[in-house]
Structure 1
């Protein structure tokens, strides 16, 4: 069945209409589920992650409680091509974030930004009209004040005319006198009076026309200013949008570079070789399985480092034995935080993983036994044992110094008894003893013999001196002069002896693998690590060796 991406604007799909696969490089992922019943922390984180996915896709038909099981998000929306592990909340791929259709700033609503400008234009349009009315009113007032002067002049003219006879007499006298200048003067006065009224009327019309022209001019100027403001506002929005998009892209780029440079939750990516180098585990799947198992057991107390970083710091210290100062620079913390984190995580791992070192039941042991052991010893070989030593600093106490000096290593060491199955899995580990302690003493004071059944065969070196104890028959293979067999086996041919020595060397290979894989065991252990922990019998070195053996069992067998 084909899949397609539900992100708005994304047209990625797995198959075409003809049913053939379209793009093999694109993968599709379901929405994360809300896990309940796994503890409060798991429930809260998974709920937040599901909400983050729904918010990132941002579709109207998609809610937290209604998500179709056929909805998928393709790998194009993740920086590393796939979603990060649910516990890595700080990883940029904890939720889809690329090409979501809404990650960039949308265009601004120009109509909304133009509303204040339109209101300002209306106010500016109303202001000139009010000025014209005021001017017109003032003009009318002025005209009304001047009109009584005209009426007064008219009345004076009428009174001067008075008696018609007198007027005619005056006219005759004037005509007879031939005073043309006076007539012209009277005509000029009449004309001037008419011109004065026309002048007043023309002045009012001119004033009104001028005010109307000023108002139209003001409207045009205001409209042009509004257009300039709108254009400037749009240009500013475009500039701001481009700047925001540039900063978003720069932020994404810097976050990717930072994740690649620092020891963060997404440091490994999908590189199994990087996981193998830094932790000793075979691949990323094994690391994530271990982390997924330990996360619910961790406390909810907030710390400087994330749970993934704490586990990663501990494994790197065990694997590469890096100096504390170097780890402090890698994880951007103080050396004191590195010491505290390492000690706490080793104790935590020892408490939750040490029970994994145990021998299998007889039926499983019989089914997994190789044919070489069956041909040489039958079906009774239970465990192959040997001791290995770890160098330590020279103690200041003389008695402790004498107990820890090893004549074989010519230095101060701690000795551990280790037992493996014929398949190469570590099934037993004792506590640490001083290097001077004999192998036989370590064996007799360990719990290994209490785990054996009558008839079980134990392959061991000459120094252990295994004998029948408490009704349990144990076989001894002596190296380098092998006399091997079932309870003092008779010497056979050289070829048979060499074959049994090869089987006995499996434990050497496993011990060498543990020390080679975790270099902290090959260095010089400080005296502080061989002191018993507060309130416990085990030392910090006992916990470290136990954790290294458990992690080795998670790797492919060497035999």
Structure 2
């Protein structure tokens, strides 16, 4: 089914398919009720904002056709912002809405008409004031010309009735007549000039209004463009655009869809208090620190905050992600394992393989405490490390992760004391390296551990042991590939961890490094498996 944009003046149509790969169509958001007071108020305001932006008579808050769509051309980033980000410019449509731009000619015509009306009123008021002044002047002259009682008139009339003013009086009368005539002509010329000049002024001012309107529109467009560039510099919600490679580089996740699905899952769980950064920016900062191991000072420059704020946001977000994503590291049911068992394992061991285990180590700074220093020194790595036991399913998903142990701790001790054995069921097979000497302990659970055989001195292995070792080593290598994938995706695990990250968190038994490793493994489970 094809869609068309409901914004006035927009003729974008899909005709059953997208116009191109960049134009999409979005429904007018609904008013969500039953999700809490905050969500209800925000979604109500957003629906009202969309209806006001579209501004069509047939679209009201309570009456919107399900076929009404708004295309991506009306958003700065090409798509609506998340509904809880009310301050984002794309929270509602804001571009090319049809009613934000008024035709300049209509404005000019209205202003010319208004100025003509104003000029007409001023002329009428001036004329009325002129009539009043002439009346007052006539009354004063009549009062002056009235003779006093019992006195003689200063003027004598001639035979034809014209006043005889004499030489001086005639000259004065002529001057008055000339002055009155000139005054009337001046008044007529002045009115014509006023009309002509006022028309020119009105026309000039209307042209200036058109130029001003065009300048205002240009400045608004420039303001929107600068705001978009500023949002890109500040790494806002439209940072990724539609570029999956950019998402993969900064987060380790395979594409934008998985990242946005994870973001939508986490945002409602975040606290409602205002932060310096938006939820998107906080999550992206955490991913960039995990993925690229960027120094806090560098992240502070990127997000325009202080390094101290970077430390605080990173610790808070890692704890938040650990609390909500650790459930994705789960031990699968036996029936599930049978359904997803790769054929290589079925051919070698049937459907009995439950898990492949191994240990990996993360370098740390040298602790100042002598006892801790002795417990953390790894004779294999020749460095102070923290060791973790990891278990994967035959399909390659991480299903078990222990807490961190000192690098000196043996693999067997970690396996017996990390809670790993509690997940095994009778008949399960565990593939492990020969360092995991736990056959006796696992045998009590009616499970079996397959370890590669090794030679003692110059003794030659039997043909059966050689074949068994080859099969185990061939399949056990998957866990090493998964460990390499986790460390390759998230470079923070390959560097030297600060000593403060291996100290227990306040009121918890786990360390910040434990949380970081758990989050990295949980995020790796969201990516395609390497098996």
Alignment of 1:419-458 (within 5 A): 419-458=391-430
1:242 Cα offset (Å) = 1.8
1:494 Cα offset (Å) = 4.5
The verdict on how the C-alpha distance between 1:386 and 1:125 changes in structure 2, with shifts beyond 3 A counting, is same
1:456 and 1:472 in contact (8 A); partners too? no
The verdict on how the C-alpha distance between 1:355 and 1:190 changes in structure 2, with shifts beyond 3 A counting, is closer
The residue aligned with 1:477 is 450
Structure 1 unaligned regions, length at least 5: 155-188, 484-488
The residue aligned with 2:473 is 501
2:452 and 2:472 in contact (8 A); partners too? no
SS at match of 2:390: strand
Task: Select which of 462, 465, 490 maps to 2:437.
Answer: 465
The residue aligned with 1:532 is 504
The residue aligned with 1:68 is 65
The residue aligned with 1:12 is 12
1:97 Cα offset (Å) = 1.9
Q: Which moved more, 1:446-455 or 1:226-235?
A: 226-235
Alignment of 1:395-434 (within 5 A): 395-434=367-406
Are positions 1:37 and 2:34 aligned together?
yes
CA distance in 2, matches of 1:500, 1:550: 26
Task: Select which of 278, 285, 298 maps to 2:270.
Answer: 298
The residue aligned with 2:229 is 257
CA distance in 2, matches of 1:285, 1:193: 107
Task: Select which of 329, 354, 363 maps to 1:357.
Answer: 329
The verdict on how the C-alpha distance between 1:419 and 1:191 changes in structure 2, with shifts beyond 3 A counting, is closer
2:453 and 2:469 in contact (8 A); partners too? no
CA distance in 2, matches of 1:265, 1:96: 16
1:118 Cα offset (Å) = 3.5
CA distance in 2, matches of 1:21, 1:396: 65
CA distance in 2, matches of 1:21, 1:318: 39
Task: Select which of 87, 101, 104 maps to 1:104.
Answer: 101
1:132 and 1:208 in contact (8 A); partners too? no
The verdict on how the C-alpha distance between 1:151 and 1:389 changes in structure 2, with shifts beyond 3 A counting, is closer
Structure 2 unaligned regions, length at least 5: none
Q: For each residue in 1:27-67, what CA deviation from the matched residue of structure 2 results, as whole angstroms up to 9, or x when unmatched?
A: 32211122222334433332232222122212233222221
Q: Which moved more, 1:301-310 or 1:117-126?
A: 117-126
CA distance in 1, matches of 2:394, 2:224: 52
SS at match of 1:103: coil
Q: For each residue in 1:375-418, what CA deviation from the matched residue of structure 2 results, as whole angstroms up to 9, or x when unmatched?
A: 11111111110000000000000000000000000000000000
CA distance in 1, matches of 2:29, 2:162: 100
Task: Select which of 332, 335, 360 maps to 1:388.
Answer: 360
The verdict on how the C-alpha distance between 1:552 and 1:229 changes in structure 2, with shifts beyond 3 A counting, is same
- Larger Cα-atom Rg: 1
The verdict on how the C-alpha distance between 1:50 and 1:482 changes in structure 2, with shifts beyond 3 A counting, is farther
The residue aligned with 1:86 is 83
CA distance in 1, matches of 2:451, 2:298: 45
CA distance in 2, matches of 1:95, 1:152: 89
1:153 Cα offset (Å) = 5.8
The verdict on how the C-alpha distance between 1:299 and 1:443 changes in structure 2, with shifts beyond 3 A counting, is same
Q: Which moved more, 1:469-478 or 1:284-293?
A: 469-478
Alignment of 1:74-473 (within 5 A): 74-104=71-101, 107=104, 108=107, 109-110=110-111, 111-112=113-114, 114-145=116-147, 149=152, 196=165, 208-469=180-441, 471-473=444-446
1:96 Cα offset (Å) = 1.8
SS at match of 2:316: helix
CA distance in 1, matches of 2:527, 2:440: 35
CA distance in 2, matches of 1:193, 1:123: 37
TM-score, normalised with respect to structure 1 = 0.85
CA distance in 2, matches of 1:327, 1:69: 44
SS at match of 1:131: helix
CA distance in 1, matches of 2:358, 2:202: 87
The residue aligned with 1:48 is 45
SS at match of 1:388: strand
1:105 and 1:244 in contact (8 A); partners too? no
1:468 and 1:474 in contact (8 A); partners too? no
Q: For each residue in 1:172-222, what CA deviation from the matched residue of structure 2 results, as whole angstroms up to 9, or x when unmatched?
A: xxxxxxxxxxxxxxxxx9799865499598777656544433433343344
CA RMSD between the two structures: 2.9
